[in-house]
Structure formats: structure tokens, C-alpha cells
Amino acid sequence: MAKNICRIVLTGGPAAGKTTLISRILKEFKQEDGWRVITIPETATDLISGFGIKPFGNCVSMLEFQYFVISDQLHKEKLALKAAEMVPEENVLVIYDRAIFDDKAYITQEEFTRVLAYFGKTEEQILAGYDAVLHLVSCAKGAEFAYNYGNAARYEDVESARRMDDLTLESWSAHPNRTIIDNSVNFEEKINRALKEIYKLIGRSAPDSSKRKYLIAMPDVAALEKYNPSKAEMMQTYLTQTNPNVVRRVRQQKNGNEYLYFYTERRTNSDGTKWVTERPIAEKEYVGYLMEADLSLHSVRKTKMRFNYEGQRLELDIYPFSGDKAVLFVFGCGDDPKLPEEIAMLKDVTGDPDYKNIVFARTQAL
């Protein structure tokens, strides 16, 4: 059977939400559901942080830097596609955190053409290597208050970020399947819109992102097997606060035979709105963050079961500290969820702060 490989570039100006979107993609398209997600990290960042090669500080010129970047990017892309053919999963998403045409924003058209020619490539050949491009607009254009969230060391000021967003958008203008995800909605909905585009690219309907949350009696888990649920083991650990307006946490999540790790910041703005940023992290970084755990709170362990029922997506969270109750999320149900006969609702707890994971970390009770 031929592999279903979809190659998607995530691009945009600084602080656009690309990293948070990658985290959501990893959570959404899991091995248990027959997916493999291959991510290619941002090459320029790797070269600057890992090798010390940078187009500033009298190291190399911007043009010289692009030779390094494009050489490394071409190598990574070749390896990623080879891996996509080798992994056992039939459905593969190859996600590029920026790609070769992002480099065009930093040099002239003539210089870009010359660099590509050095590697025996044309613009048409490079563009043909990507099935779609999602341009996430920088927070510097329409959500300026959040520009530095998640990266206090960002070196571009807001005006520079806007300019780079425009240049990047123009650089990818020739791609026939480019979608722009702007800041006309809140950040969570922005990420949901990007996910819907990805579902569209793979020819599937995106799950309805609207959801209700219910406290339910503990169901007979074995009886739910007839709905073919996917399961994931998770552990969420809250970290000590370094800012009173920011809740930090890390999560370990089993993904097939492997583990995924995420770092999340949930920020409360002065107007009471929430802004959540997240990024996937390596196991070593996860272990490092555990040294910052808030010892006044327990780590929250749970088993998440996910399945479809009557056109809705159901996610059941089962906690080891509760033998008689569980939490159920129902997506796309409005105010009238349709539940399997095995599930007995106790009450609607949508928006109830007493049923958040951080409360469970304190109480270890439902």
C-alpha cells in the first residue's frame, strides 16, 4: 500500500504560534490512530544556537549564512522524506518549522537564485517539494500585547517583526497552496483554524473544537472497548511560579511505544483573558524542568480515552485517585450531548474552576 505523506511548511514572522501549533499537531495525530508526525526544526536557530554560526556579531555575512542554512535544510528534508517512507505508519505528516523559502526574506532575489543554483536547484523545484504552506501571522500584527510571550529573549522589536512577516509572506507568494492564518481571532482559535487547514489537506473533517465538560460516574472501561478508543497515559507536573500571572507546567504523554514531552505556559492578562503557549521538548529538558516542580502540588496522572460517537468526539479522563468518578469532554455537541449507554452524566462542569487539573494537583480528588 502506498504511503500517504503530506508535507506542510509552517512559516510566518516572529512569535506567530508555530511552536504551539507543532505541539497541537503532535497531540492530535497520534500513533495509536495510525499517524506518524515527523518534524524538521528551524534550521537557522539550530545553526546559531548549536554551531555558533550567525549572521551578526562579525561571524558571517547574511549571504554566507544562507549557504549554511540551505545546505542543512536540504539535507534534513532528504532524511525526513526517507524516514517517512521507512516508518511503519501509512499516514505521515512531515512538518517543516520554516523551510527554504524563508531564507529568501533575508537576501535579494538575485542572491537567492544564486544560492539555489549552487546546490543545483531552482525555485520551482524547491516549491514542488512542499504540499502546502501555512503562514501564521506574527503576533506583532494584531496581537502586539503577546509578542514576547514564550520568548523573553526575542531580539526583533515589534516593527522589525512586522517587516519580517511581510517579507516572509512575499517570499512564499508563488506557492500554489498557501493559506494565511491571521490574528483576527484569539490565539486558541488561531491554532484551531490552522489545524482545520491541516485536516482539509489530508482530506478529513476537522473535529469540532467547541466542547463541553462533564463529571460522570466511572464507566465500565472494558465495555467502552467496542467504540475502539485510542488511549494515552499522561502525567502533568506544575512548576514553581516565576511570574504571578503565569502558570507553568510540563507534560509527559505516551505515544504508541514512545513518549512525547511538552512545556506549557498559561498566562492571565490584565483583562482576565488567557493566553497559552506550548512547545515540544526533549526528554532531557523535561527532566530538567522536573527539578523546578512545585512541591506543594502533586503530579496529575491520568489515562485519556478518545473515541467518536454519534458524530461527536469524546475524551474520557480517568484519574487513579478516583474510583467512582471521571471527567468527560464532548466536542461538537452544543448543549445537548449524545452519550453512550455506558456513560452516566452527573453534572455539567464546563468552565467550573473546581474541575481543572491544577485543582486536582492540590486535592487529588474529584
Instruction: Please report the pLDDT score of residue 153 as a whole number.
Output: 46
Give yes or no for residue 150 having a pLDDT over 60: no
Instruction: Please report the pLDDT score of residue 147 as a whole number.
Output: 76
Give yes or no for residue 286 having a pLDDT over 60: yes
**Mean pLDDT within 255-269:** 90
pLDDT tens digits for range 206-226: 888 889 999 999 999 999 999
Q: Which of 72-86, 196-210, 246-260 is most confident?
A: 72-86
pLDDT tens digits for range 40-54: 999 988 888 888 888
The amino acid at residue 313 is: R
Mean pLDDT of the chain: 92
Instruction: Please report the pLDDT score of residue 149 as a whole number.
Output: 64
User: How sure is the predictor about 114, in pLDDT bands with cuts at 50, 70 and 90?
Assistant: very high
Give yes or no for residue 141 having a pLDDT over 80: yes
**Mean pLDDT within 33-39:** 93
What is the value of pTM for the model shown? 0.87
pLDDT tens digits for range 6-31: 999 999 998 899 999 999 999 999 88
pLDDT tens digits for range 163-202: 999 999 999 999 999 999 999 988 999 999 999 999 999 9
CA atoms of 333 and 329, how far apart (whole Å): 10
User: How sure is the predictor about 294, in pLDDT bands with cuts at 50, 70 and 90?
Assistant: very high
User: How sure is the predictor about 126, in pLDDT bands with cuts at 50, 70 and 90?
Assistant: very high
Give yes or no for residue 152 having a pLDDT over 60: no
Instruction: Please report the pLDDT score of residue 256 as a whole number.
Output: 79
Instruction: Please report the pLDDT score of residue 43 as a whole number.
Output: 92
Instruction: Please report the pLDDT score of residue 50 as a whole number.
Output: 84
Residue 92 cell numbers, joined: 505521515
More confident residue, 210 or 364: 364
User: How sure is the predictor about 247, in pLDDT bands with cuts at 50, 70 and 90?
Assistant: very high
User: How sure is the predictor about 120, in pLDDT bands with cuts at 50, 70 and 90?
Assistant: very high
- % of the chain with per-residue pLDDT over 90: 76
Give yes or no for residue 1 having a pLDDT over 60: no
Instruction: Please report the pLDDT score of residue 151 as a whole number.
Output: 55
